[in-house]
Structure 1
Amino acid sequence: MSSRKSSRKPKKRSQSNELFKNKILAPILIAFLFGGILGYVITQPQVNTLKTNEDVLESQILFLEERINELKIKESELSQSQTVVNTLQSQMNSNKLENAALSEKVSSLNSEITVLENTLEDNKVQLSVAIQDAEMSEAEISKLNTRLNSITKTIEKFENDKLLLVELRKEIPSSRSEAHNHWERVKDIAIVSDPTLGPKIDKVISMIDAYYDWIDQQPGANSTDTEFFNWIIEGNISGAINYTSEIGKFQNDALLAVIIRMDAAISLVS
């Protein structure tokens, strides 16, 4: 009997130990699970918030990088625009100086032409008298008549040259219609002075519409640097920006034609 009792006691102890362990482990397990759930509930929104903040920061970084690239492009365009503006300003200053020099040259040429005309008229009268009164051979008379005809033609050309010089001193027209009328009138005078001036004035006339189309598209006071830069580029591509320089070339060629005739006239009276 005693041996049976002793064999049952360990089982009871084992069961009580098991129950004791279960009683201890159950709360721990529950606490662990509760803590995990609680931690998830608390930390997950924070994780989501951090993820959202990270996405926002990445978006802001991308935006700033794009903005930096845009600013670099604008800086480059601004630098190019400034270069173009400086070039145009330099060209404008040069044009002003050239116009002032042209005006002085035209005034001087007008005075010289007047002196030459008077001298030619005197020579014409003298030659006419000499041909009528002098006893000369036919060859000598023919030579004097040739010279007389040259003087007469030169005087006639000088009258046209003076009209051309007057037109060259005028300001460049401010409107399209005025420009067409002005340069067509100049052409009519120029080709009488020198027919080779015709193609040169035609080039100026051919650029009138392109130039005034470009001027009509000029950006306003509130335009951006990019818009102004693109406008300048368009003027270069179309060639409209070269309108005034072509006028300058024609003016120089016209003056040269007058000067050459004056040199020829001097040889007639010398």
Structure 2
Amino acid sequence: VLEFVKLFDPSSYARLQMMKATQDYNKVRLNMPAFLTACIWMSTSISKKQKIRFLLGVFDENDSYTFEEVEFVAMLVALFRGVGAIFGLTSRDAMPSHARMQTLARKLFVRVLELGELRLEGPSKVLLQNGSVPFHIVEEWLLGETYDPLNVPIALFMERFSVPGEEEDPEQFEDEERKFRVSHTHPVEPPMETAASLDGSFLCRDEVVQVNVIFQHCASKGTFDISHADAERIAGVAIDPKFWIGKLHRALDEMDVARHNGVKISLSAFLKKLCPK
């Protein structure tokens, strides 16, 4: 966590390193839109289109499945600030002002509107007259699937930090209404997993749930010395032997040693032992 603080709130990080006072932790401020946007955009385990669908949903606060200028500007400014923080470009000399970033984003939104004029027909064009653009038009522009030279840097940046090849869109054969969308008003189904996200170095969703239940039980009992059968009984489900042998048993042993050595026990520490990378 402190590594993110170092990137996104360097002044607070410096104060923490110097003072190490508990109250200083409460003064840490992360720009969450910038943090979230940069982390999603730069993930190499999420497909391109899932990244875009997720971020469009995050900034589409009224669940209209369209983007207005204010939402588009908010997303791009968050991207600029987030990427700047990741690469250590937080000083005024290194980054343009907030006003200049907004101006650029507004100019780019005009290009998206122009793309909509070319792509949309009939009643759909009424949206453009109201300053709204359907998601699929914004998605097409962000992916660089147009001849607009101004979106080349964004498209190339997306390409650099994305799953290659067939994993670009794991939902390409799904009906449009079944594709993943973030909602601010109702629950949605989780997105389809990509091969990269199912890689052995990651925990899948079911494993995360199992790990949390097992950790909470062991922490409450004061011991991590349990068998495979104990773990299945605690989790209430069958645990894949490969997962038990390859990750979970080793992590439990290391947590038990750490506990005996007086090391503070936490779920984050347990997760790090499960997935050291």
With a CA cutoff of 8 Å and minimum separation of 6, indicate the structure with the bigger relative contact order.
Answer: 1
Same-fold status (TM-score > 0.5): no
- TM value normalised by structure 2: 0.24
Q: Which protein is bigger by CA-based radius of gyration?
A: 1
Which one has a larger percent helix, Structure 1 or Structure 2?
A: 1
